[in-house]
Each structure stands twice: as C-alpha cells, then as structure tokens.
Amino acid sequence: MANDLKARDFLSIHDFTPEAIEQILDTAAMLKLRQKAGLTDQPLRGKTLGMIFQKSSTRTRISFEVAMWQLGGYALYLSANDLQLKRGETIADTARVLSRYLDGIMIRTYSHEEVVELARHAEIPVINGLTDLLHPCQAMADLMTIAEKRGRLAGLRLAYVGDGNNMAHSLMFGGAKTGMHVVVATPRSYPPDPGIVEAARSDARATGATIEVVEDPGAAVKGADVVYTDVWASMGQESQAEEKRKALQSYQVNSKLMALTKAEAIFLHCLPAHRGEEVTDEVMDGPHSAVWDQAENRLHVQKAILALVL
C-alpha cells in the first residue's frame, strides 16, 4: 500500500484527506485482525517515541506505550514536570533537542498552540495525545469502533451530547471526513468553538457529511446510530466543575434519552466517565454500550498511526 503519511505530524483530523483517514482506519483494522490471529508486525524495530504528559492519563499513556512495544519499538514516558520545559526551556529548543534522540513525539498538554509550535520546530513527527482544543487519536478510535459495530461510517447519524469540548471538536472533524451526520447538542453557555464548526462544515462539503449544532439533546439523539458523551468538566476546568454541572444537568445520557435512538444504536464515551453525571450506570453497562471495545481500539488505531508516520 502506498504511504503518503510518512513523516507527517498527526495534530488534527482536519489536516488529512478522507483517503488518508480511511488508510489509517484500514491499517488499524488489519493490524487488529493480525494481532488477534497471533501474528507479529514489527515495522518500528529500533525506533523510539517520546511521550510528553502535562496532564493525567490512563488510556493514552498505556495504549501508546504498548503500541510501540508491539510494533518492535520503545516508548519513553516524559513527565512535563521533570523536563527542563518546566524551568523555562522553550518549546522550540525542546523540539530541536528531542529530534536528535527520538523518532517521534506524542504530547498531551493544555494549549493546542504549544503542540503546533512543537511540531513546527521538531524534525520528527509529532502526535497530538490531547489538547484543550482537540483529541484526534481518540476520535480515530471512535471511528474505528463505529465502523466495526455498524459496518460503515458514511450516512450514519452521530449525536454528541454535553460539553462543547475537545472531543466534540475532533468528532466533528472525524465525521466530516467520513461522510457522517454529526449533531452536537450543548447548552448555549458551553458551545463548540465556532471556528472548528466552520472548518468541519467546510470539510463536510467534500464527503456529503453534515455538521449541526443544537441545544436540545432529545432532538439530537432522535434516530441516532451513535450517541456520544464526555465529562462535563475537562482536565484543567476543575474550578468550573460546579457551574458546568448545573448548566449541563439536562444533558445526561440516561435510558430515557437512549430510548429515542435507533434500536441498534451504540453508546460511546472516551472515558474516564463520571458515572451519575454525564452518563448513568444503566447506559455505561447496558446493551448499547461499546465503551470497552472503544478503549481497546485506541491501541490498534495508534499502532496504525505510528506505523504510518514514524
């Protein structure tokens, strides 16, 4: 298979063509199948990924570390607190130095601009492991999970219910590139970023996708194939938690809301979940939930991204 993704950064799904997104998803499906069949693929033998974390992580850290190991490479966990970054070394200089040791960098941080700056000065691919603006690796795992469960992506209705956050943004881009109908329901006080909505709508024109932003969660999930939610207060928003809990109360995904979807609809959550807030136990543990397969697919989709860009 031709690979035009070699040496590319993976900062946002918006930066890639629909064909490139499909190539990543196809590679992920193939790697997963081969792994389940007991086959070993080690295209990254001798390669090293540095993983910079400014925020906590369970899934991202473990899945990237295991992904590198399974592909024959090595991953280094770099806590931002221990790097000289914390003592004022610039991002640009950090990028230049890391480029002399590593074959790729994965970074999880607050400001998206910092990641763009790191990528600008790094001579090696940079992968976005979550910023306040976007979470593209998660959205890729979500697309993979939807395709596995429903056999396709184009034409499906995905309803995102809750805070207009990094997940909402990356799902809009993911849906736009794959021909989905994405409906985001948020309260007026916590909408998605209008610049992201506009960019996703512009991407959608090429694939027949649609991007809608509404206020009513019931209207969003009506006839949905996929219902998605995320925490109300993201990492870094701890001081707003109480205010957001009030504003988002009627956006909880519960059995009553799920009853409005298609009978075969699936429920997704990037995790970690705050059970009893944005989602009830009944839904998390119920028959529609695909959240554990979704979490597993972080591993497979990131193996595909790493194998293609490194």
Beta bridge partners of 280: none
Q: Are 230 and 248 in contact (CB under 8 A)?
A: no
- Which residue number is nearest to ligand NVA in terms of Cβ? 234
Q: Which is nearer to ligand CP, 124 or 130 (CB)?
A: 130
Q: Which of residues 78-137 bind ligand CP (CB under 6 A)?
A: 130
Q: Which of residues 287-306 bind ligand CP (CB under 6 A)?
A: none
Supply 18's token pair.
């629909």
Stretch that binds ligand CP, among 55-63, 82-90, 156-164, 253-261 (CB under 6 A): 55-63
Question: Is 270 noted as a catalytic residue in this protein?
Answer: yes
Question: How far separated are the first and last CA of the chain, in Å rounded?
Answer: 16
Query: How are beta strands 210-214 and 104-108 bridged, if at all?
Result: unpaired
What are the backbone angles phi and psi of residue 117, rounded to the nearest 5°? Answer: -65, -40
User: Is residue 270 near ligand CP by the rule CB under 6 A?
Assistant: yes
Q: Which is nearer to ligand NVA, 71 or 106 (CB)?
A: 106
Beta bridge partners of 227: 159, 267
Judged by CB under 6 A, the residue of 20, 29, 214, 235 near ligand NVA is 235
43: cis peptide before it, omega within 30°? no
Taking Cα atoms as reference points, which of 176, 180, 182 lies closest to residue 205?
176
The span from the CA of 125 to the CA of 99, in Å, is 9
Length of the chain: 310
288: partner contacted, choices ligand CP, ligand NVA, none (Cβ within 5-8 A by kind): none
58: partner contacted, choices ligand NVA, ligand CP, none (Cβ within 5-8 A by kind): ligand CP
Question: Is 298 noted as a catalytic residue in this protein?
Answer: yes
Which DSSP letter does residue 239 get? G
User: Is residue 59 near ligand CP by the rule CB under 6 A?
Assistant: yes
Which helix (H) or strand (E) element contains residue 306?
Answer: helix 291-309
Question: Is 108 noted as a catalytic residue in this protein?
Answer: yes
Judged by CB under 6 A, the residue of 230, 268, 283, 299 near ligand NVA is 230
User: Is residue 54 near ligand NVA by the rule CB under 6 A?
Assistant: no
Stretch that binds ligand CP, among 180-188, 191-199, 267-275, 276-284 (CB under 6 A): 267-275
Question: Is 137 noted as a catalytic residue in this protein?
Answer: no
Q: Are 309 and 127 in contact (CB under 8 A)?
A: yes
Q: Which is nearer to ligand NVA, 230 or 277 (CB)?
A: 230
User: Is residue 167 near ligand NVA by the rule CB under 6 A?
Assistant: yes
Question: Is 135 noted as a catalytic residue in this protein?
Answer: yes
Binding to ligand NVA by CB under 6 A, coded x per residue (else -) over 118-137, reads ------------x----x--
Stretch that binds ligand CP, among 67-75, 91-99, 117-125, 268-276 (CB under 6 A): 268-276
The span from the CA of 243 to the CA of 247, in Å, is 6
The residue whose two tokens read 């809608």 is: 212
The residue whose two tokens read 């003592």 is: 87
Catalytic residues: 108, 135, 138, 230, 270, 298
The residues of the shown chain that bind ligand NVA, judged by CB under 6 A, are 130, 135, 165-167, 230-231, 234-235, 270
